[in-house]
Amino acid sequence: MPPTGEIVPRYVAEPPQGPTPHGRFADRLRAEFLDAVQRLDGIGEPGVLSFFPDRSWHGYTYVPVTAASADGLEVYGYVMYSVPSDGAEPTDFAAYADYTDETADTNPDWQIDLCDEVIGGWRGVTGASASMTLVWGRTLVAGGSVATAELGELTVDECGLSGDRFTLLAPDDFDGKLLEIRLYDAAGSELARESLYEDDAKA
């Protein structure tokens, strides 16, 4: 197969490796995330936490989290940790949290509810760089099976749904192209698409 000339990081993260966190491990993730939430001001008490599929990259596993707050906001972020190669207990826990007043409840036109955060960078040829972005969300339409991350017309990551939730890790803002998230059913038919950028038209 001849070279394509298009050097872009694709499928860089490991696919989800475990089930939805539960038991003592979920309690640990919850404590780490809520500690990060405590550093935010004026958001109200967060409700039940929703965990999303894990993705691992550069030696760390990321588990995204969202929760509704008592003040009608959405708290979102992730817990990251490293898993020793010998199978020992995870270590080096850290968490990130933020909030938004843009929620699915106040945007009935949304078909996919997305959160995203840049967690690293990638440098290509001639100085071009990409923002390696963790994207997690839930589908708001029925029948979805797989979510993909599209950079232009190139698929750069995909994740099967866990219930209505998915997590992607993909390059964004590279060579003039921006990420778009698409949802497909089991037959490969597109059900919805959503940009990470508010000003872009929504499907």
Tens of pLDDT, residue by residue, the chain (203 residues): 777 667 899 999 999 998 999 999 999 999 999 999 999 988 889 999 999 999 999 999 999 999 999 999 999 999 999 988 877 889 999 999 999 999 999 999 999 999 999 999 999 887 889 999 999 999 999 999 999 999 998 999 999 999 999 999 999 999 889 999 999 999 999 999 999 986 543 33
| Single pTM value for the model | 0.93
Per-residue pLDDT at 201? 39
d(CA 26, CA 6): 40
Number of H helices, E strands in the chain: 1, 12
Q: How far is CA 141 from CA 9, 108, 165, in A?
A: 29, 11, 12
Ranges of H-type helices in 76-115? none
Tokens 């339409």 belong to residue: 141
Contact indicator for 52, 136 with CB cutoff of 8 Å = yes
